[in-house]
Amino acid sequence: MPAVLAAAGVHAGYPGGPDVLDCVSLEVARGRRVALLGANGSGKTTLLRCLSGAHRPGAGEVLVDGRPLRHRSGALGEHRQRVQLVLQDPDDQLFSADVRRDVSFGPVNLGLPDAQVRTRVEEALTALGVAHLADRAVHQLSYGQRKRVAVAGAVAMRPEVLLLDEPTAGLDPRGVGELLAALERLEGLGTTVVMATHDVDLAWSWADEVAVVVDRVVRQDVLVKVLTDTDLLRSAGLTPPWPVRLLRALGREVDVLDPPRTAADVAALLA
């Protein structure tokens, strides 16, 4: 499928330091779940910031539907309606007194009529499973609730692509399950999700494609090909997901066409 969002030969870094990314290319096809893997400090966040328009590459281009992103105010404003980035720490994005006002901030700043703002806010809160928290003070929310409200604020912009930086970090298993269920609802509404994480097991159970950031470049391919490449993962400071390790310990290889994604899949395979 054609890429709705892509990086082409992107070099990126910060003043006074070496490049973080060196000639990086990445493609995000519409409707495909992409997990962006890498050790802490590998450049995942920098790449997401480039894709969102928040960080201008030193060289190379970010492409949206094949067209280069131009770093001018009007073009960036349009881009940020189509591509939204949610940072790892929700407190970096939540600043209003209550949930409803925080989620409405983006649509209000688009100049939308009040009725449209209300519709977008209700849709976003419902999609993230936090509609019951609409009138709650932000400081009264749990960490997991604040994570989902931060995502709801991005969703209220109705983006085509949602970029998530370590969205499950700090969440307990229930919180992770609630967030993944919310993302599935968003995908049903037509949003393509890219998730940066260092959790290989999460990527194995969730993604269609995986891109690994290692040595300032990105290696991208279908899920099984990347996450069974022990040498690649080792070079990135990662280990294969647990189903791959278990099957190999039993002297079996993973079926590329029908990989076991869950504990139930592994149990059925070994039965």
User: What are the backbone angles phi and psi of residue 217, rounded to the nearest 5°?
Assistant: -125, 175
Query: What stretches of the chain adopt beta strand conformation (E)?
Result: 3-13, 19-29, 34-37, 59-64, 67-68, 83-86, 161-165, 192-197, 209-214, 217-222
User: pLDDT tens digits for 125-149?
Assistant: 998 999 999 999 999 999 999 999 9
Per-domain residue ranges of the chain: 3-240, 241-271
- At 4 the pLDDT is 95
User: pLDDT tens digits for 166-200?
Assistant: 999 888 898 889 889 989 988 998 999 999 999 99
User: pLDDT tens digits for 76-129?
Assistant: 989 988 999 999 999 988 988 899 999 999 999 889 999 999 999 999 999 899
DSSP class of residue 128 equals T
What proportion of the chain, given as a percentage, has pLDDT over 90?
78
- At 53 the pLDDT is 95
Give the pTM. Answer: 0.92
84 closest CA partner among 152, 12, 133: 152
78 burial via Cβ count (<10 Å: 0-12, 13-18, 19+): middle
- At 246 the pLDDT is 95
User: pLDDT tens digits for 198-252?
Assistant: 999 999 999 999 999 999 999 999 999 999 999 999 999 999 999 999 999 999 9
Confidence of residue 17 (pLDDT cuts 50, 70, 90): confident
1: pLDDT strictly greater than 80:
no
CATH number of 3-240: 3.40.50.300
